[in-house]
């Protein structure tokens, strides 16, 4: 059975799913999705995921969408990257929801606005609003990490993978690790995990000459 992740390198949400698969030791293969040329709007992709988003995981028996759901499947299937008790499992869910709403939910559109659309379409008001919301959320995250190594348990879990997903990307989106010393150390701890890879090393990018990162 082949497990396939529909993804592309610039997607922080796809990175969360891919990193969970990788660190849990799940054999998987990437299927590049040409987001910037409109593949997610095509009828063929909408038949796979009506939401028109990556990541999508084809497990061979079912199709899963949304990074948090895919991470839950990894924990449930492998017994890795999860909690040891029901209370810890709920805390992982709590941080995953926090990330989706407050961290990735701000960082994703902010990074897109600041890097992946033409400059004349970059709305300063939207950028300012998202930057302020992201700063507030990262301040909460940095404060929590002042007294613990990991967010939900005494070890790396999908809560950490989820909240850290966008924070490894090099493009500017108002996040500077130096401003958040506890987040900085936490990101280093995650990166020191055997099997960890940077998003641009783990996920597929367009062919040479079509890389949207070179166009920003």
Q: In Å, what is the CA distance from 194 to each residue of 10, 85, 197?
A: 23, 24, 9
Structure tokens at 153: 């348990």
> Would the CA dihedral through 216, 38, 173, 206 be positive or negative?
negative
Catalogue the long-range contacts made by 82-90 (C-beta closer than 8 Å, 24 or more residues apart): 82/157, 82/158, 83/152, 83/153, 83/157, 84/153, 88/152, 88/153, 88/157
> What pLDDT shows up at residue 214?
36
Residue that has been written with the tokens 């499947």 in this structure: 73
Q: What domains, with CATH codes, occur in the chain?
A: 4-80+197-215 (3.40.30.10), 86-191 (1.20.1050.10)
Walking along the chain (216 residues) 10 residues at a time, the average pLDDT comes out as: 93 98 98 96 97 97 97 98 97 98 98 96 98 98 98 98 98 98 98 97 71 37
Structure tokens at 37: 């040329």
> What pLDDT shows up at residue 8?
97
Q: 127: exposed, middle or buried (C-beta count within 10 Å: 0-12, 13-18, 19+)?
A: middle
Spatial strand order of the sheet with 4-7 comes to 29-32, 4-7, 56-58, 63-65
> What pLDDT shows up at residue 206?
67
> What pLDDT shows up at residue 205?
84
């Amino acid at each position: 059975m082949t497990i396939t992740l529909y993804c592309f390198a610039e997607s922080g949400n796809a990175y969360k799913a891919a990193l969970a698969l990788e660190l849990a030791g799940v054999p998987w293969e990437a299927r590049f999705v040409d987001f910037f040329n409109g593949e997610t709007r095509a009828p063929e992709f909408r038949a796979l995921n009506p939401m028109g988003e990556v990541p999508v995981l084809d497990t061979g028996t079912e199709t899963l969408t949304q990074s948090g759901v895919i991470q839950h499947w990894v924990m449930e299937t492998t017994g890795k990257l999860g909690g040891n008790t029901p209370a810890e499992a709920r805390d992982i869910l709590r941080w995953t929801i926090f990330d989706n709403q407050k961290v990735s939910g701000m960082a994703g559109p902010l990074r897109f606005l600041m890097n992946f659309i033409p400059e004349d379409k970059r709305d300063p008001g939207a950028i300012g609003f998202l930057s302020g919301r992201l700063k507030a959320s990262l301040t909460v995250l940095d404060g929590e990490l002042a007294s613990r190594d990991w967010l939900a348990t005494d070890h790396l879990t999908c809560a950490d993978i989820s909240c850290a997903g966008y924070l490894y990307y090099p493009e500017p989106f108002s996040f500077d690790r130096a401003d958040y010393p506890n987040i900085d150390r936490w990101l280093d701890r995650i990166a020191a995990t055997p099997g960890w890879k940077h998003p641009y090393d783990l996920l597929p990018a367009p062919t040479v000459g079509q890389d949207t990162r070179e166009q920003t």
